[in-house]
């Protein structure tokens, strides 16, 4: 059996045609060895290409984990012990050092334990972006609980659904309580919880393999789903981000994202696990871009994560103090990338809720635009592996389209309370 291919050299490279030959040969070989298989189940990928795909996607490269056997709060305590006087947060005129923040989180953790919170319990937070929310987040994890953030601006029916679906026993509030009915959890006032200074004691009940937080998906493809993420996967992701984005303990990281998005956790702990300062803006600072630009200047923010559409509205001169800029959630806007790449470290990041925030990162260099207008999402972070699969969940060949499939330490173990969907998606 022989085959010749005639091709237009203006349209095709010889290497492309050779690849077609190889794929066709693999297809015939697959058919001979599996004569009863449907054609769609036959493979065009040979052993060498499969090996190359795995290598490209970081499969089985888990020896490159950024950090192992650590909890979020364990690393935070280590940072506190060495940089206790460093400024941990700045919210308007209010500041807290690492030692002060750790102390208040310990008080809150003890209070939660007195309220009956045990290891693995889900604790919701109906608290706006603030130092109170940050203290609550750390306290829940120190007590061994699972942090569940709620956006205070969500409609009441969405809040009611999440509170009931999560089966949480306690929801922390400040001066605002959700106006909803038919819920079983108790509302605990944050201000009462941090007054009992007699219970200030170092605590950290969590283990690396324990669930750290639960984030609900947006519900764009149906009802929102609770996704469970572990301490060890998040710590690995966070340390790899700190390395890639060159975050130092003298940097200032701005908290932009809504608490209900996992990107907020990336921003928070990019600061708190590196000894840097977390800048907490007021709601008005986000809504008004003029106020936001002023905040960037006054806070001397150096590390910034933004949605591309929001970045597009800003005067680029307001970014003069920014050392590292990350955009995520949607493709970067080419006009902004061309203006900023080279003037600062610009990264395009990607990650679904089902992974510990960030799955892939691409550093955009100015020379990139000489050869391409498509914006890659980059390669997987350390500890993760990625391949592209077809509808039969089989590898697609290089240059072909497929669905992103992710594996590794940062992958969620399951959806909350949805065994059938978990079995379908987490294969």
Q: What is the pLDDT of residues 246-260, one digit of tens each?
A: 999 999 999 999 999
pLDDT at 58: 86
Q: Answer whether 269's CB lies under 8 Å from 72's CB.
A: yes
- As given in the structure block, the two tokens for residue 231 are 């301490």
Residues 66-113: tens digit of each pLDDT: 567 899 999 999 999 999 999 999 999 999 999 999 999 999 998 899
Query: Taking 70 as the threshold, does the pLDDT of residue 61 lie above it?
Result: no
Query: Taking 70 as the threshold, does the pLDDT of residue 65 lie above it?
Result: no
pLDDT at 287: 95
Q: Decide: helix, strand or coil at residue 285.
A: helix
pLDDT at 66: 56
How many whole angstroms separate alpha carbon 144 and alpha carbon 140?
6
How many Cβ atoms from other residues are within 10 Å of residue 320's Cβ? 11
Residue 40 buriedness (CB in 10 A; 0-12 / 13-18 / 19+)? exposed
Query: Taking 90 as the threshold, does the pLDDT of residue 1 lie above it?
Result: no
Angle at alpha carbon of residue 154, lines to 152 and 155, rounded to 5°: 130
Which region holds residue 329: left if phi is over 0, alpha if psi is between -120 and 50, else beta? Answer: left
Which region holds residue 100: left if phi is over 0, alpha if psi is between -120 and 50, else beta? Answer: alpha
Of 339, 351, 372, give the one whose Cα is nearest residue 305: 351
pLDDT at 242: 96
Q: Which residues have C-beta within 8 Å of that of residue 308, sequence separation ≥ 6? A: 327, 329, 330, 331, 332, 333, 336
Q: Which residues have C-beta within 8 Å of that of residue 7, sequence separation ≥ 6? A: 17
């Amino acid at each position: 059996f022989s085959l010749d291919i005639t091709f237009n050299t203006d349209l095709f490279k010889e290497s492309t045609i050779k690849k077609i030959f190889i794929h066709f040969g693999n297809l015939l070989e697959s058919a001979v060895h599996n004569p009863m298989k449907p054609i769609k189940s036959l493979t065009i990928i040979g052993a060498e290409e499969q090996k190359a795909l795995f290598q490209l996607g970081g499969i089985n490269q888990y020896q490159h984990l950024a950090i192992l056997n650590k909890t979020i709060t364990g690393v935070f305590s280590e940072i506190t012990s060495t940089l206790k006087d460093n400024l941990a947060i700045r919210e308007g005129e209010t500041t807290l050092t690492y030692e002060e923040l750790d102390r208040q989180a310990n008080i809150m953790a003890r209070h939660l334990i007195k309220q009956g919170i045990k290891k693995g319990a889900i604790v919701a937070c109906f608290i706006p972006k603030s130092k109170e929310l940050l203290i609550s987040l750390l306290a829940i994890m120190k007590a061994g609980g699972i942090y569940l953030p709620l956006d205070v601006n969500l409609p009441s029916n969405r809040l009611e659904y999440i509170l009931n679906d999560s089966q949480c026993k306690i929801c922390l509030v400040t001066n605002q309580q959700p106006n909803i009915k038919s819920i079983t959890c108790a509302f605990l006032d944050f201000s009462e919880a941090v007054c009992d200074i007699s219970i200030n004691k170092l605590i950290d009940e969590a283990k690396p393999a324990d669930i750290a937080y639960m984030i609900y998906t947006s519900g764009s493809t149906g009802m929102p789903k609770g996704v469970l993420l572990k301490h060890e996967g998040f710590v690995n992701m966070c340390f790899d981000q700190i390395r890639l984005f060159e975050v130092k303990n003298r940097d200032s990281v701005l908290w932009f994202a809504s608490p209900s998005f996992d990107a907020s956790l990336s921003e928070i702990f990019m600061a708190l696990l590196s000894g840097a300062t977390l800048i907490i803006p007021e709601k008005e600072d986000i809504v008004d871009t003029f106020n936001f630009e002023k905040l960037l200047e006054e806070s001397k923010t150096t590390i910034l994560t933004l949605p591309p559409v929001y970045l597009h509205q800003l005067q680029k001169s307001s970014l003069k103090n920014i050392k590292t800029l990350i955009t995520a959630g949607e493709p970067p806007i080419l006009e902004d990338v061309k203006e900023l790449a080279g003037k600062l470290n610009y990264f395009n990041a990607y990650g679904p809720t089902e992974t510990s925030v960030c799955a892939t990162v691409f550093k955009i260099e100015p020379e990139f635009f000489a050869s391409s207008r498509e914006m890659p999402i980059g390669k997987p972070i350390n500890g993760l592996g990625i391949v592209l699969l077809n509808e039969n969940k089989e590898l697609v060949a290089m240059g072909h389209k497929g669905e992103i499939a992710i594996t590794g330490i940062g992958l969620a173990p399951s959806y909350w309370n949805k065994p059938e969907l978990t079995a379908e998606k987490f294969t």
